[in-house]
Amino acid sequence: MASTFYITTPIYYVNARPHLGHAYSTIVADTMRRFHALKGEETWFLTGTDEHGDKIVKAAAAAGKTPKEFVDSISGQFQALWPLLGVKNDQFIRTTDPDHVERVQHFLQRVYDNGDIYFGEHSGHYCTGCERFYTEKELENGLCPQHQTKPEFIQEKNYFFRMSKYLPWLADHIRSNPDFIRPERYRNEALAMIESGALEDLCISRPKSRLEWGIELPFDKDYVCYVWFDALLNYVSALGWPDGENYAKFWPGEHLVAKDILKPHGVFWPTMLKSAGLPLYRHLNVHGYWLVKDTKMSKSLGNVVEPARMAERYGLDAFRYFLLRDMQFGSDASFSEEALITRFNADLANDLGNLFSRVLSMNAKYFAGRIPEAGKLEDDDRVLVELAENALANYDQLFDNIRFAQALDSLWELVRALNKYVDSQAPWTLFKQGNMERLGTVIRIMLEAMRKVALCLWPVMPGTSATLMEQLGQPLPASERFGVAPDHNPVEEAGKWALLETGAQIASASNLFPRLDIPEEMKEEKNKAKQGKAPQKAAPAPAEAPAGLAEFADFQKLELKVGTVLECTRVPKADKLLCFRIDLGESEPRQILSGIAEYFEPETLVGKQVCVVANLAPRKIRGLVSSGMILTAESEGKLTLLTPAAGMAPGSKIS
């Protein structure tokens, strides 16, 4: 029986139109589904809309519509957007679907019959934005921690889920299964919530006297279900729980959410599943926010990014690639069109596009567009073959562990190596010398490697992948171009170097990614921002410092930043050195060497945050360039990494 993979997005709340955050979650889920399908797994991809609760009633009233009219309209906008972004979901669920309503009531009755739902009087601080009650301990200076608004104090009778009964069990489960919630920072955050003592039993009803727009409780007709209890159940109701064929085949699955809904997915949902006797999900994958000019997107600020517009302007696949490549999964990332253009030109035009353009045109010139036969491999060829096979293995492992940016960077190591291989082997010189056997070997190796790159790109850039495969004489059927995975597993094929047909006719040119110019208005806006900064006043001359003390001006020269460790390996033949690749919020990870190998195992440092001196002049150590310094503290022979107390975005300045 083939292994299965089930991936879900959050079901999106329909109080507003879809934006970049929704697009990112859904594109990532689509990419994960395609990645697992490419590996031969049977996949199921669910997305949908969450349509009950207070906020819907208020948004509908403001729009002059009934709640049903309003949710139909907004849900339709989500469903219409996904095909425009190359998303191929298998199912779209709405929490107003009759079969979902029926299964929620079935689940509620089961938990009630198990003795885990009780009726009681309750008073608490109710935030309409969150649609939930907060305890005094959870408030921040009397305000909702999410919206920073003062909640309404409400006292009423309601039904409660005995969540507190399962919190010790959940904490043990999270500790025993380190990748249950990932990345690690969110696992730690969920544990901190549970261990804080702030969480109590969960209020799971609203009286109809206050809210009618919801799913009626099966054991009390005067109450409707709390929106989060209802919404979370979509992940199993969509599969036909309890006796549906898809439920038996695909559950448990994987969830993909943004960090603002960690609590309901990381705490509420597992305890609900435990109470009802259902298996827990495999992984909760949590990502950060897309920011614009370091500010969260907001309609009031006018900085909301329209995903369909970006895909239309820059190309669907280029937009998808940028989102996966420029956000380190789990951290926040900053979106700008200038950054998208820069990434487009560097990776797609200069690297990938240039590679296909020059190799296909050389093959057309030297071999009339037919695939040449490879002769005996030389040392340079073997080095490239080994690099390619390592790059594909790393791509597979990193992608499987939701490290999408690093996976693509690993694939681009191969793309860049192929461009360097062209330069070092100089096919034009081999042609002038009449060395056609060697020329054929060089061209054939490049074409075979390019095919591997094209297949690996299918999850992220399906249209581009199909076009590149077509240019290499292996067109994908229409069903495979955007939906069903190609009948090729690039990882399984990594060690095979004769997958193209010798003598087959292939394209003589490729021009998929012509360079883009940064529009003048973007340059002007950037210059205005620079000019708008107030000029700094000249500092008075400092008093002479005592010997051995640094001037404040000396300290100001240092650029200290928070970084996230992406990779850590030992340096060969150097007992004390570790080689780090660290995300400092820059376009590329930073390589830094540190002499701390005797204190730490490299694999234990991946994912940790460190403090880095980011503006040290690069220096070579054991033939490797180190561009920065990791800060540590030492006491009584023990070494500790200096880290921020809470997770921070890579590149955050330390001052």
Q: Is 130 a catalytic residue?
A: yes
End-to-end CA distance of the chain: 56
Q: pLDDT (tens digit, 9 = 90+) per residue, 534-556?
A: 444 444 444 444 445 556 556 66
Helix spans in 128-264 (H): 167-176, 184-195, 227-232, 234-237, 245-250, 262-263
Closest CA to 419 of 453, 394, 390: 453
Q: pLDDT (tens digit, 9 = 90+) per residue, 207-225?
A: 999 888 899 999 999 999 9
Which of these is catalytic: 147, 150, 365, 420? 147
Q: What is the DSSP letter of 13?
A: E
Which of these is catalytic: 36, 100, 122, 127? 127
Closest CA to 73 of 22, 117, 16: 16
Closest CA to 276 of 108, 100, 92: 108
- Render the burial of 236-249: b for 16+ CB within 10 Å, e for the rest: bbbbbbbebebbee
Q: Is 296 a catalytic residue?
A: yes
pLDDT > 70 in the chain, percent: 91
pLDDT score at 298: 64
Which of these is catalytic: 22, 39, 52, 265? 22
Q: pLDDT (tens digit, 9 = 90+) per residue, 356-397?
A: 999 999 999 999 999 999 999 999 999 999 999 999 999 999
330: alpha, beta or left? (left if phi > 0; alpha if psi -120 to 50): left
Domain residue spans in the chain?
4-290, 336-529, 552-654
Using CA atoms, how far apart are residues 487 and 256, in angstroms rounded to an integer?
Answer: 27
Which of these is catalytic: 122, 144, 255, 452? 144
3-state secondary structure at position 246: helix
Closest CA to 285 of 33, 461, 548, 544: 33
Q: pLDDT (tens digit, 9 = 90+) per residue, 324-359?
A: 999 999 999 999 999 999 999 999 999 999 999 999
Lowest mean pLDDT among 448-452, 515-519, 648-652: 648-652
Using CA atoms, how far apart are residues 263 and 283, in angstroms rounded to an integer?
Answer: 14
3-state secondary structure at position 256: strand
Structure tokens given for 452: 């591997």
Domain 552-654 belongs in CATH node 2.40.30.60: no
Using CA atoms, how far apart are residues 581 and 251, in angstroms rounded to an integer?
Answer: 36
Q: What is the mean pLDDT of residues 171-197?
A: 95
Using CA atoms, how far apart are residues 386 and 461, in angstroms rounded to an integer?
Answer: 25
Task: Tell me the sheet residues that pair with 286.
Answer: 257
The DSSP code sequence of 30-83 is: HHHHHHHHHTT-EEEEEEEEE--SHHHHHHHHHTTS-HHHHHHHHHHHHHHHHH
Where are any strands of DSSP class E within 294-355? Answer: 295-296, 333-334
Q: Is 147 a catalytic residue?
A: yes
Q: What is the DSSP letter of 348?
A: I
4-290: which CATH number, 3.40.718.10, 3.40.50.170, 3.40.50.12780, 3.40.50.620?
3.40.50.620
Angle at 398 between CA 393 and CA 403, to 5 degrees: 160
Closest CA to 306 of 580, 546, 602, 17: 17
User: Is it the case that residue 489 has pLDDT exceeding 90?
Assistant: no
Q: What is the mean pLDDT of residues 52-80?
A: 89
Which of these is catalytic: 157, 296, 420, 653? 296
Say whether pTM exceeds 0.75. yes
142: alpha, beta or left? (left if phi > 0; alpha if psi -120 to 50): left
pLDDT score at 524: 64
User: Is it the case that residue 302 has pLDDT exceeding 90?
Assistant: no
Q: Are 339 and 509 in contact (CB under 8 A)?
A: no
Which of these is catalytic: 100, 122, 125, 130? 130
Q: Is 144 a catalytic residue?
A: yes
Q: What is the mean pLDDT of residues 96-109?
A: 96
Long-range contacts of 335-338 (CB under 8 A, 24+ apart): 335/20, 335/290, 335/291, 335/292, 335/305, 336/292, 336/293, 337/310, 337/522, 338/518, 338/522, 338/526
Task: Tell me the sheet residues that pair with 634.
Answer: 639
Using CA atoms, how far apart are residues 100 and 641, in angstroms rounded to an integer?
Answer: 49
Q: Is 100 a catalytic residue?
A: no
3-state secondary structure at position 367: helix
Query: Of the ranges 43-57, 424-438, 635-649, which is most confident?
Result: 424-438
Q: What's the distance, CA 61 to chain centroid?
A: 35
Using CA atoms, how far apart are residues 482 and 34, in angstroms rounded to an integer?
Answer: 9
Q: Are 41 and 268 in contact (CB under 8 A)?
A: no
Q: Which helix (H) or strand (E) element contains residue 154? A: strand 152-161
Q: Is 22 a catalytic residue?
A: yes
| Residue matched to tokens 């979509």 | 234
Where are any strands of DSSP class E within 218-282? Answer: 220-225, 254-258
Q: Which helix (H) or strand (E) element contains residue 29? A: helix 20-38
Q: Is 523 a catalytic residue?
A: no
Which of these is catalytic: 299, 420, 523, 576? 299
Domain 336-529 belongs in CATH node 1.10.645.10: no
